[in-house]
């Protein structure tokens, strides 16, 4: 049925266009022969096609535009005729004899424009006559297009200041009166369309009316272009008359569109100076009008005006714009008790943006807006409307975007209160925006109190919901926690005491964040603490008598508590690494008991938590490497820890891993610095044990695969022998090295040996190194001379 209606419309439109074109053809013939009488006859018949009531606004517009093009040609003809001596007054009278009123009025408007151009009568009189005559068409659609035509052809002929049609008297008032009268009549026709036809077609009529709205709005645009409309005339005449029509029409669509038109077409300066009048009309609009969009649009324009023209800021203060807007919004929200929370938040968001642009230094204004928002949110509770939540994010982002400084936002007491009403997911979004702002602007947050306030704001990323992490995308979770980790690294204060407070605040927050987050948040805090310890060491070296609240011992106690929390994750490998880092820091601080405790905790983790063989190997190398650098331990503690490390090495699952770990332990008995402990015998013992394990691995290869295993382990051990030989370990003799080289050569030449190009290249490189050392000269050369390579 709808399809049939569309097809019928197409037929009616085609028929109308055909009739219009046919009569236009005859009109052109009459114009070419200068036959005025026939030209008027055929033009009237052509315009009769516009009398149809069968077309929708969209189709009618297509027909109207064709007629409009033909009327422009007719207007040019009339203009030429008057230049050739034809009386324009007679022509103006002649067109009024057309049989039908619609063609008659189109022709009258066309000739009227030529009449104004001729200047044989005042423009204001002709315009007044035309606008009055157009009342003869009361059909909404036909009347709208007729008056739109009048507005279009007369807009450049208004008696404005500086115009060639300007008269002697108060002509600007006449021009304004003409446009206002035409606007009023057009709006009445437009509103009347809503009430024609059955109720079931209401949506269709609203759609059609929406398509026609620009015809009405163009009048306001014409008004804004009149040069003579200054602020006083706008304030005293134009705005009151327009608002009167807007309020009295009592039509939702018309009121919303026309209010928006007023805001968009007239200058910002006029809006600022007439705020009372404009805001006073808002409560008189229909309750269903989208007032939030209207006021948001107004505040956006005023905000941009203030931002682009700083010199006008005193005008905003003079008219007390903030107070007026704030009061108006409060009254509207109070009057519309059922206003959706989205609309409320949008209004306050626009008001806050306005405040930040106009009064950037008045934090009390910004906080007042946020407080009003909190008051409304307290009635609603947690937001479950995603659009409203997004608008809250926009509201809270405004101060960050304006000041580029989170610290300024922290000064707003109601800022965190607004965040309380966000749901978990949106709270996280806002927290990420805050962190991104800090990163982007490199904001320096340097006191414990500010860090406390900041972490309260971003607790959605730190604490989750009651300390637990809901189901969420793993990649998103990692990205969020990495952002928190980067934030922790940025927190800094040159004063050690204040820095300790910052660390303590962060510790309290992250320990409530659930075990899943700790592996992301604990490491950066540990390293920030270690950085502080090293600063304290330097400070103690420069000022031995100074005492601060955050002493190394207290910081180490805090670190121990932090790393212990990782055991619940569980993240034993990470915890072990951090324990060893702390042990090194304690070593640098000459705190032997503390360093010993950290090593003990690392050993406990190794024994009880790390079971995977590859992870054991990695952990053992870390332990050996760290222990080798320690100088704070006494003989007893060092022997205990070293013995444990060598014991772990011998218990690894795979023989090659055992061998490498054991020969690595040899470094524990030979300190690089001259003051360190050096025990050549125990070094040799480790290397012999490694060699024994390498032999056992070779035998296992023979037993299981029927061929010899790789000699790579022997070559690695040979390189360790050479290292300690060069370092002056007297227990490593030339004979020992020579025997090992011969063993390797024999194994490689064995017919059952496994072909291993990497081992062969390594051995060849080792032999070249020995030759190089021989040729080097000096004590090293003498030492290597007996070695036969």
Of 513 and 168, which is predicted with more confidence?
Answer: 513
Helix ranges (H only) for 543-654 are: 552-566, 572-588, 592-608, 613-629, 635-650
**Residue-wise pLDDT tens digits, 372-399:** 999 999 888 887 778 888 999 999 999 9
**Residue-wise pLDDT tens digits, 346-375:** 999 999 999 999 999 999 999 999 999 999
- pLDDT of 745 over the 70 cut: yes
What's residue 705's pLDDT?
Answer: 67
- pLDDT of 93 over the 60 cut: yes
Confidence (pTM): 0.78
Q: Rounded CA gap, 432 and 460, in Å?
A: 9
**Residue-wise pLDDT tens digits, 493-510:** 999 999 999 999 999 999
Q: Are 407 and 443 spatial neighbours (Cβ–Cβ below 8 Å)? A: yes
Work out the widest C-alpha separation in the chain, in whole angstroms: 135
Measure Cα distances from 107 to 153, 210, 311 in Å. Answer: 12, 28, 50
The model's confidence at residue 167, banded by pLDDT at 50, 70 and 90, is low
> How does DSSP classify residue 235?
I
Contacts of 693 (CB under 8 A, 6+ apart): 650, 655, 658, 659, 662, 713
What's residue 709's pLDDT?
Answer: 66
Q: Rounded CA gap, 358 and 326, in Å?
A: 13
Strand partners, 465: 468
**Residue-wise pLDDT tens digits, 557-574:** 999 999 998 877 788 999
Q: Rounded CA gap, 711 and 518, in Å?
A: 44
The model's confidence at residue 1, banded by pLDDT at 50, 70 and 90, is very low
Residue of 132, 145, 93, 143 lying closest to 115 (CA atoms): 93
**Residue-wise pLDDT tens digits, 199-245:** 778 888 889 899 999 999 999 999 999 988 999 999 999 999 999 99
**Residue-wise pLDDT tens digits, 408-459:** 888 899 999 999 898 888 889 999 999 999 999 888 888 999 999 999 989 8
């Amino acid at each position: 049925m709808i399809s049939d209606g569309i097809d019928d419309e197409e037929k009616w439109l085609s028929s109308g266009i055909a009739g219009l074109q046919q009569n236009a053809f005859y009109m052109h013939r009459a114009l070419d022969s200068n036959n005025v009488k026939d030209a008027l006859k055929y033009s009237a018949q052509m315009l009769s096609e516009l009398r149809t009531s069968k077309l929708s606004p969209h189709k009618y517009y297509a027909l109207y535009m064709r007629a409009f093009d033909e009327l422009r040609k007719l207007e040019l003809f009339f203009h030429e005729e008057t230049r050739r001596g034809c009386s324009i007054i007679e022509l103006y009278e002649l067109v009024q004899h057309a049989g039908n009123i619609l063609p008659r009025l189109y022709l009258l408007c066309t000739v009227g424009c030529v009449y104004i151009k001729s200047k044989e009568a005042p423009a204001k009189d002709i315009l007044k006559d035309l606008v009055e005559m157009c009342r003869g068409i009361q059909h909404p659609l036909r009347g709208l297009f007729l008056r739109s035509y009048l507005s279009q052809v007369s807009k450049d002929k208004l008696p404005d200041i500086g115009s060639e049609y300007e008269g002697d008297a108060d002509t600007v008032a006449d021009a304004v009166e003409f446009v206002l009268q035409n606007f009023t009549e057009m709006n009445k026709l437009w509103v009347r369309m809503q009430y024609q036809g059955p109720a079931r077609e209401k949506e269709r009529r609203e759609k059609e009316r929406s398509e026609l709205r620009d015809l009405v709005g163009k009048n306001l645009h014409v008004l804004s272009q009149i040069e003579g409309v200054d602020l006083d005339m706008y304030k005293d005449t134009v705005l009151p008359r327009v608002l009167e029509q807007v309020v009295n029409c009592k039509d939702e669509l018309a009121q919303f569109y026309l209010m928006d038109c007023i805001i968009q077409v007239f200058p910002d300066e006029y809006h600022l100076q007439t705020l009372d009048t404009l805001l006073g009309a808002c409560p008189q609009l229909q309750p269903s009008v989208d007032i939030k969009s209207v006021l948001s649009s107004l505040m956006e324009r005023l905000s941009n005006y203030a931002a682009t023209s700083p010199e006008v800021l005193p005008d905003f203060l003079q008219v007390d714009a903030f107070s007026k807007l704030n009061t108006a919004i409060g009254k509207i929200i109070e009057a519309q008790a059922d206003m959706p929370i989205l609309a409320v938040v949008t209004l306050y968001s626009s008001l806050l943006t306005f405040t930040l642009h106009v009064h950037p230094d008045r934090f009390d204004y910004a906080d007042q807006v946020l407080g009003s928002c909190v008051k409304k949110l307290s009635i609603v509770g947690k937001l479950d409307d995603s659009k409203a939540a997004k608008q809250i994010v926009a509201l809270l982002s405004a101060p960050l975007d304006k000041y580029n400084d989170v610290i300024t936002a922290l000064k707003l007491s109601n800022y965190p209160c607004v965040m309380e009403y966000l749901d978990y997911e949106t709270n996280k979004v806002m927290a990420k925006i805050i962190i991104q702002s800090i990163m982007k602007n490199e904001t320096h947050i340097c006191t414990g109190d500010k860090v406390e306030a900041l972490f309260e704001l971003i607790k959605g990323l730190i604490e989750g919901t009651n300390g637990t992490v809901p189901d969420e995308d793993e990649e998103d979770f990692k990205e969020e926690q990495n952002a928190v980790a980067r934030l922790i690294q940025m927190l800094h204060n040159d004063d050690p005491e204040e820095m300790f407070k910052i660390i303590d605040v962060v510790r309290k927050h992250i320990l409530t964040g659930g075990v899943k987050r700790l592996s992301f948040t604990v490491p950066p805090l540990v390293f920030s603490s270690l950085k502080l310890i090293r600063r304290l060491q330097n400070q103690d070296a420069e000022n031995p008598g100074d005492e601060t609240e955050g002493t190394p011992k207290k910081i180490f106690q805090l670190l121990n508590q932090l790393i212990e929390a990782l055991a619940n994750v569980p993240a034993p490998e990470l915890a072990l690494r951090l324990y060893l880092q702390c042990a090194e820091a304690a070593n640098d601080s000459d705190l032997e008991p503390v360093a010993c405790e950290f090593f003990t905790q690392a050993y406990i983790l190794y024994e009880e938590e790390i079971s995977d063989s590859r992870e054991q190997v990695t952990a053992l190398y870390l332990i050996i490497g760290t222990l080798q650098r320690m100088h704070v331990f006494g003989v007893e503690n060092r022997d205990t820890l070293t013995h444990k490390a060598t014991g772990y090495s011998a218990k690894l699952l795979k023989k090659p891993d055992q061998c490498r770990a054991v020969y690595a332990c040899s470094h524990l008995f030979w300190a690089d610095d001259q003051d360190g402990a050096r025990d050549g015998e125990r070094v040799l013992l480790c290397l012999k044990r490694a060699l024994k394990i390498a032999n056992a691995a070779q035998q296992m290869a023979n037993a299981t695969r029927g061929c010899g295993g790789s000699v790579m382990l022997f070559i690695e051990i040979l390189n360790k022998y050479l290292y300690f030989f060069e370092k002056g370990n007297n227990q490593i003799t030339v004979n020992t090295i020579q025997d090992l080289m011969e063993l390797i050569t024999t194994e490689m030449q064995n017919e059952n040996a496994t072909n291993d190009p990497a081992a062969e290249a390594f051995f060849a490189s080792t032999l070249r190194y020995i030759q190089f050392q021989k040729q080097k000269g000096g004590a090293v050369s003498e030492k290597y001379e007996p070695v036969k390579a």
